[in-house]
Amino acid sequence: MSSIILGIVGYGEVGKIFAKGLQGKAGIAGICARDVNFEASAIAEAERAHANNDGVRPTQGMAELCEQATLVISAVTASNTLAVAEEAARHLRPGTVFLDLNSASPGTKQQAARAIEEAGGRYVEAGVMTSVPPYGIAVPMLLGGSHAETLAQTLTGWGMDARAVAREIGVASAIKMCRSIMIKGMEALVIESYATARRYGVESHVLPTLQETFPQIDWDRTGAYFFSRVAQHGKRRAEEMRESARTVKEAGFPPIMAAAIAEKHDWVAAQAREGIFRDVPTDAPWQVWADRLIERTR
Protein backbone atom coordinates (compact mmCIF):
# COMPACT_ATOMS: atom_id res chain seq x y z
CA MET A 1 0.00 0.00 0.00
CA SER A 2 1.43 3.38 -0.99
CA SER A 3 0.23 6.97 -0.53
CA ILE A 4 -2.42 5.95 1.95
CA ILE A 5 -5.19 8.22 3.15
CA LEU A 6 -6.16 6.87 6.54
CA GLY A 7 -9.78 7.26 7.62
CA ILE A 8 -10.63 6.63 11.26
CA VAL A 9 -14.24 5.96 12.19
CA GLY A 10 -14.66 6.67 15.89
CA TYR A 11 -12.49 9.48 17.21
CA GLY A 12 -12.68 8.41 20.85
CA GLU A 13 -9.87 7.21 23.09
CA VAL A 14 -8.59 4.54 20.68
CA GLY A 15 -9.18 6.62 17.55
CA LYS A 16 -7.23 9.54 18.98
CA ILE A 17 -4.32 7.31 20.01
CA PHE A 18 -4.10 5.69 16.58
CA ALA A 19 -4.43 9.00 14.73
CA LYS A 20 -1.67 10.63 16.74
CA GLY A 21 0.60 7.58 16.67
CA LEU A 22 0.35 7.11 12.91
CA GLN A 23 1.06 10.71 11.98
CA GLY A 24 4.09 10.96 9.73
CA LYS A 25 4.45 7.23 9.13
CA ALA A 26 5.90 6.26 5.76
CA GLY A 27 3.25 6.06 3.06
CA ILE A 28 0.50 7.87 4.99
CA ALA A 29 -0.36 10.98 3.01
CA GLY A 30 -3.09 12.18 5.37
CA ILE A 31 -5.53 11.25 8.10
CA CYS A 32 -9.22 12.05 8.32
CA ALA A 33 -11.78 11.03 10.91
CA ARG A 34 -15.50 10.55 11.40
CA ASP A 35 -17.21 10.73 14.77
CA VAL A 36 -20.75 11.50 15.89
CA ASN A 37 -19.27 13.99 18.36
CA PHE A 38 -18.16 16.17 15.48
CA GLU A 39 -21.83 17.00 15.02
CA ALA A 40 -22.91 16.93 18.71
CA SER A 41 -23.63 20.55 19.59
CA ALA A 42 -22.22 20.52 23.12
CA ILE A 43 -18.77 19.17 22.31
CA ALA A 44 -18.47 19.40 18.52
CA GLU A 45 -16.23 22.45 18.54
CA ALA A 46 -13.83 20.98 21.11
CA GLU A 47 -13.65 17.61 19.33
CA ARG A 48 -13.02 19.19 15.96
CA ALA A 49 -10.33 21.41 17.47
CA HIS A 50 -8.67 18.36 19.03
CA ALA A 51 -8.62 16.64 15.64
CA ASN A 52 -7.20 19.67 13.85
CA ASN A 53 -4.50 20.10 16.50
CA ASP A 54 -3.44 16.49 15.90
CA GLY A 55 -3.30 16.99 12.14
CA VAL A 56 -6.52 15.05 11.55
CA ARG A 57 -9.20 16.42 9.26
CA PRO A 58 -12.74 15.98 10.61
CA THR A 59 -15.25 14.87 7.99
CA GLN A 60 -18.96 15.61 7.83
CA GLY A 61 -19.99 11.99 7.57
CA MET A 62 -19.18 8.50 6.36
CA ALA A 63 -19.60 9.36 2.69
CA GLU A 64 -16.98 12.11 2.85
CA LEU A 65 -14.56 9.89 4.77
CA CYS A 66 -14.95 7.00 2.32
CA GLU A 67 -14.45 9.30 -0.67
CA GLN A 68 -10.93 9.99 0.57
CA ALA A 69 -9.75 7.00 2.58
CA THR A 70 -7.87 4.05 1.11
CA LEU A 71 -7.54 2.43 4.54
CA VAL A 72 -10.47 2.74 6.95
CA ILE A 73 -10.01 1.86 10.62
CA SER A 74 -13.22 1.23 12.54
CA ALA A 75 -12.75 1.98 16.27
CA VAL A 76 -16.26 2.31 17.66
CA THR A 77 -18.16 0.64 20.48
CA ALA A 78 -18.93 -3.07 20.19
CA SER A 79 -22.64 -2.48 19.70
CA ASN A 80 -21.96 -0.30 16.64
CA THR A 81 -19.59 -2.72 14.89
CA LEU A 82 -22.01 -4.01 12.27
CA ALA A 83 -23.88 -0.73 11.74
CA VAL A 84 -20.63 1.10 10.96
CA ALA A 85 -19.48 -1.59 8.51
CA GLU A 86 -22.83 -1.52 6.74
CA GLU A 87 -22.79 2.27 6.52
CA ALA A 88 -19.23 2.27 5.20
CA ALA A 89 -20.15 -0.39 2.63
CA ARG A 90 -22.64 2.02 1.06
CA HIS A 91 -19.93 4.58 0.39
CA LEU A 92 -16.44 3.07 0.20
CA ARG A 93 -14.58 2.77 -3.09
CA PRO A 94 -13.69 -0.68 -4.46
CA GLY A 95 -10.35 -1.87 -3.15
CA THR A 96 -10.54 0.10 0.10
CA VAL A 97 -9.17 -1.83 3.06
CA PHE A 98 -11.46 -1.86 6.10
CA LEU A 99 -9.72 -2.76 9.38
CA ASP A 100 -12.25 -3.60 12.08
CA LEU A 101 -10.71 -3.12 15.54
CA ASN A 102 -13.97 -3.54 17.43
CA SER A 103 -14.62 -6.17 20.09
CA ALA A 104 -17.38 -8.22 18.48
CA SER A 105 -18.33 -11.88 18.14
CA PRO A 106 -17.19 -14.03 15.20
CA GLY A 107 -20.73 -13.96 13.81
CA THR A 108 -20.91 -10.17 13.98
CA LYS A 109 -17.52 -9.86 12.29
CA GLN A 110 -18.60 -12.28 9.55
CA GLN A 111 -21.69 -10.17 8.87
CA ALA A 112 -19.56 -7.03 8.74
CA ALA A 113 -17.11 -8.74 6.39
CA ARG A 114 -19.90 -9.73 4.00
CA ALA A 115 -21.16 -6.16 3.82
CA ILE A 116 -17.70 -4.76 3.07
CA GLU A 117 -16.65 -7.48 0.62
CA GLU A 118 -19.93 -7.33 -1.33
CA ALA A 119 -19.28 -3.61 -1.81
CA GLY A 120 -15.84 -4.35 -3.25
CA GLY A 121 -13.87 -3.55 -0.10
CA ARG A 122 -11.21 -5.65 1.61
CA TYR A 123 -12.24 -6.55 5.14
CA VAL A 124 -9.70 -7.41 7.83
CA GLU A 125 -10.76 -8.20 11.38
CA ALA A 126 -8.55 -7.41 14.34
CA GLY A 127 -8.57 -8.85 17.82
CA VAL A 128 -6.98 -6.17 20.02
CA MET A 129 -5.53 -8.29 22.78
CA THR A 130 -5.15 -5.82 25.64
CA SER A 131 -5.93 -2.26 26.67
CA VAL A 132 -4.69 0.25 24.08
CA PRO A 133 -3.49 3.22 26.22
CA PRO A 134 -0.38 1.60 27.78
CA TYR A 135 0.85 0.47 24.33
CA GLY A 136 -0.43 3.05 21.89
CA ILE A 137 -0.25 1.88 18.29
CA ALA A 138 2.04 -0.99 19.42
CA VAL A 139 -0.85 -2.74 21.17
CA PRO A 140 -0.80 -6.45 20.21
CA MET A 141 -3.36 -7.25 17.50
CA LEU A 142 -4.32 -10.49 15.80
CA LEU A 143 -5.60 -10.11 12.24
CA GLY A 144 -7.90 -12.33 10.23
CA GLY A 145 -9.17 -12.46 6.65
CA SER A 146 -7.82 -13.06 3.17
CA HIS A 147 -6.05 -9.68 3.20
CA ALA A 148 -4.72 -9.98 6.76
CA GLU A 149 -1.18 -11.02 5.89
CA THR A 150 -0.65 -8.14 3.45
CA LEU A 151 -2.07 -5.58 5.88
CA ALA A 152 0.01 -6.99 8.75
CA GLN A 153 3.16 -6.24 6.79
CA THR A 154 2.08 -2.64 6.27
CA LEU A 155 1.12 -2.16 9.92
CA THR A 156 4.33 -3.66 11.30
CA GLY A 157 6.22 -1.29 9.03
CA TRP A 158 4.56 1.53 10.98
CA GLY A 159 5.72 0.11 14.31
CA MET A 160 2.50 -1.72 15.11
CA ASP A 161 2.33 -5.20 16.64
CA ALA A 162 0.05 -6.93 14.14
CA ARG A 163 0.08 -10.63 13.30
CA ALA A 164 -2.11 -12.51 10.86
CA VAL A 165 -3.56 -15.66 12.45
CA ALA A 166 -6.12 -16.90 9.92
CA ARG A 167 -7.53 -16.30 6.45
CA GLU A 168 -11.02 -16.99 7.83
CA ILE A 169 -13.04 -14.23 9.46
CA GLY A 170 -13.95 -15.05 13.05
CA VAL A 171 -10.79 -16.73 14.34
CA ALA A 172 -9.13 -13.54 15.60
CA SER A 173 -12.35 -12.33 17.21
CA ALA A 174 -12.92 -15.73 18.87
CA ILE A 175 -9.47 -15.49 20.45
CA LYS A 176 -10.21 -11.96 21.63
CA MET A 177 -13.67 -12.75 22.98
CA CYS A 178 -12.56 -15.86 24.89
CA ARG A 179 -9.78 -13.86 26.50
CA SER A 180 -12.21 -11.07 27.34
CA ILE A 181 -14.43 -13.45 29.29
CA MET A 182 -11.47 -14.17 31.56
CA ILE A 183 -10.12 -10.62 31.89
CA LYS A 184 -13.44 -8.80 32.25
CA GLY A 185 -14.63 -11.66 34.44
CA MET A 186 -11.68 -11.12 36.78
CA GLU A 187 -12.49 -7.41 36.89
CA ALA A 188 -16.11 -8.11 37.81
CA LEU A 189 -15.15 -10.71 40.41
CA VAL A 190 -12.54 -8.47 42.04
CA ILE A 191 -14.97 -5.56 42.29
CA GLU A 192 -17.71 -7.73 43.77
CA SER A 193 -15.41 -9.62 46.13
CA TYR A 194 -13.43 -6.60 47.34
CA ALA A 195 -16.44 -4.35 47.88
CA THR A 196 -18.23 -7.11 49.78
CA ALA A 197 -15.16 -7.89 51.90
CA ARG A 198 -14.77 -4.18 52.63
CA ARG A 199 -18.45 -3.94 53.66
CA TYR A 200 -18.00 -6.78 56.16
CA GLY A 201 -14.61 -5.47 57.32
CA VAL A 202 -12.78 -8.66 56.38
CA GLU A 203 -10.52 -7.45 53.54
CA SER A 204 -7.41 -7.81 55.73
CA HIS A 205 -8.17 -11.53 55.92
CA VAL A 206 -9.33 -12.09 52.32
CA LEU A 207 -6.52 -10.41 50.36
CA PRO A 208 -3.66 -12.25 52.12
CA THR A 209 -5.27 -15.56 51.19
CA LEU A 210 -5.41 -14.46 47.55
CA GLN A 211 -1.76 -13.40 47.76
CA GLU A 212 -0.83 -16.80 49.14
CA THR A 213 -2.71 -18.68 46.42
CA PHE A 214 -1.57 -16.44 43.55
CA PRO A 215 1.71 -14.84 44.75
CA GLN A 216 2.59 -13.50 41.31
CA ILE A 217 -0.29 -10.99 41.44
CA ASP A 218 -0.18 -7.75 43.44
CA TRP A 219 -3.79 -7.92 44.60
CA ASP A 220 -3.95 -4.41 46.06
CA ARG A 221 -2.55 -2.79 42.94
CA THR A 222 -4.59 -5.01 40.63
CA GLY A 223 -7.74 -4.21 42.55
CA ALA A 224 -7.16 -0.47 42.25
CA TYR A 225 -6.55 -0.77 38.51
CA PHE A 226 -9.66 -2.89 37.93
CA PHE A 227 -11.92 -0.52 39.88
CA SER A 228 -10.52 2.47 38.00
CA ARG A 229 -10.85 0.95 34.52
CA VAL A 230 -14.37 -0.36 35.02
CA ALA A 231 -15.55 2.92 36.59
CA GLN A 232 -14.14 4.76 33.57
CA HIS A 233 -15.01 2.31 30.79
CA GLY A 234 -17.72 0.07 32.23
CA LYS A 235 -20.28 0.86 29.55
CA ARG A 236 -17.86 -0.04 26.77
CA ARG A 237 -16.74 -3.16 28.63
CA ALA A 238 -20.36 -4.23 29.14
CA GLU A 239 -20.96 -3.95 25.39
CA GLU A 240 -17.88 -6.06 24.75
CA MET A 241 -19.10 -8.67 27.21
CA ARG A 242 -22.45 -8.86 25.45
CA GLU A 243 -20.51 -9.67 22.30
CA SER A 244 -18.57 -12.25 24.32
CA ALA A 245 -21.90 -13.72 25.43
CA ARG A 246 -22.94 -13.80 21.78
CA THR A 247 -19.69 -15.63 21.00
CA VAL A 248 -20.47 -18.27 23.63
CA LYS A 249 -24.01 -18.63 22.29
CA GLU A 250 -22.73 -18.96 18.72
CA ALA A 251 -20.56 -21.83 19.98
CA GLY A 252 -23.69 -23.58 21.27
CA PHE A 253 -23.29 -22.92 25.00
CA PRO A 254 -25.52 -20.89 27.34
CA PRO A 255 -23.59 -17.65 28.09
CA ILE A 256 -24.34 -17.69 31.81
CA MET A 257 -21.06 -16.20 33.03
CA ALA A 258 -20.47 -13.77 30.17
CA ALA A 259 -23.97 -12.34 30.57
CA ALA A 260 -23.46 -11.88 34.31
CA ILE A 261 -20.12 -10.16 33.75
CA ALA A 262 -21.81 -7.73 31.35
CA GLU A 263 -24.42 -6.91 33.99
CA LYS A 264 -21.75 -6.19 36.61
CA HIS A 265 -19.83 -3.85 34.33
CA ASP A 266 -23.05 -2.12 33.34
CA TRP A 267 -23.98 -1.64 37.00
CA VAL A 268 -20.63 -0.04 37.86
CA ALA A 269 -20.92 2.18 34.78
CA ALA A 270 -24.36 3.29 35.96
CA GLN A 271 -22.92 4.28 39.35
CA ALA A 272 -20.20 6.24 37.57
CA ARG A 273 -22.77 8.10 35.45
CA GLU A 274 -24.58 9.08 38.64
CA GLY A 275 -21.35 10.71 39.79
CA ILE A 276 -20.35 8.64 42.81
CA PHE A 277 -16.73 8.45 41.58
CA ARG A 278 -16.58 12.05 40.31
CA ASP A 279 -13.73 13.25 42.54
CA VAL A 280 -11.86 9.92 42.85
CA PRO A 281 -8.36 10.08 41.31
CA THR A 282 -7.69 7.35 38.76
CA ASP A 283 -4.75 6.12 40.86
CA ALA A 284 -6.73 5.94 44.12
CA PRO A 285 -6.45 2.77 46.25
CA TRP A 286 -9.16 0.19 45.67
CA GLN A 287 -10.61 0.90 49.10
CA VAL A 288 -11.64 4.41 47.99
CA TRP A 289 -13.60 3.02 45.04
CA ALA A 290 -15.16 0.30 47.18
CA ASP A 291 -16.21 2.80 49.85
CA ARG A 292 -18.12 4.81 47.25
CA LEU A 293 -20.03 1.70 46.25
CA ILE A 294 -20.70 0.82 49.88
CA GLU A 295 -22.18 4.26 50.46
CA ARG A 296 -24.85 3.36 47.90
CA THR A 297 -26.02 0.45 50.05
CA ARG A 298 -26.61 2.52 53.18
Compute how many other C-beta atoms are within 10 angstroms of the C-beta atom of residue 2. 8
Quick one: average pLDDT of 43-52?
Answer: 93
Compute how many other C-beta atoms are within 10 angstroms of the C-beta atom of residue 217. 13
CA dist 75 and 33 (Å) reads 11
CA dist 77 and 100 (Å) reads 11
CA dist 85 and 103 (Å) reads 13
Q: What dotted CATH number matches 173-295?
A: 1.10.1040.10
**pLDDT at position 111, please?**
98
- Specify the 3-state DSSP secondary structure of 123: strand
What is the CATH architecture of 4-167?
A: 3-Layer(aba) Sandwich (3.40)
**pLDDT at position 297, please?**
83
Q: What are phi and psi of 75, to 5 degrees?
A: -135, 65
Q: What is the DSSP letter of 93?
A: P
Quick one: average pLDDT of 82-92?
Answer: 97
- Specify the 3-state DSSP secondary structure of 227: helix
Residue ranges of the domains in the chain?
Answer: 4-167, 173-295
- Specify the 3-state DSSP secondary structure of 295: helix
Percent of the chain with pLDDT over 70: 99
Go through 90-127 and write b for each residue having 16 or more CB atoms within 10 A of its CB, e for each that does not: ebbeeebbbbbbbbbbbbbbbbbbebbbebebbbbbbb
Q: What is the pTM of this model?
A: 0.91
- 88 pLDDT more than 60: yes
- 2 pLDDT more than 90: no
**How much is the mean pLDDT over the chain?**
96
Report whether 74 contacts 103 (CB < 8 A): no
Q: What is the DSSP letter of 24?
A: T
Digit-coded pLDDT (tens) for 187-245 = 999 999 999 999 999 999 999 999 999 999 999 999 999 999 999 999 999 999 999 99
- The model's confidence at residue 84, banded by pLDDT at 50, 70 and 90, is very high
Looking at 214-255, list the stretches that DSSP marks H as alpha helix, in order from N- to C-terminal side.
219-250
Digit-coded pLDDT (tens) for 123-176 = 999 999 998 988 999 999 999 999 999 999 999 999 999 999 999 999 999 999
- 258 pLDDT more than 60: yes
- 180 pLDDT more than 90: yes
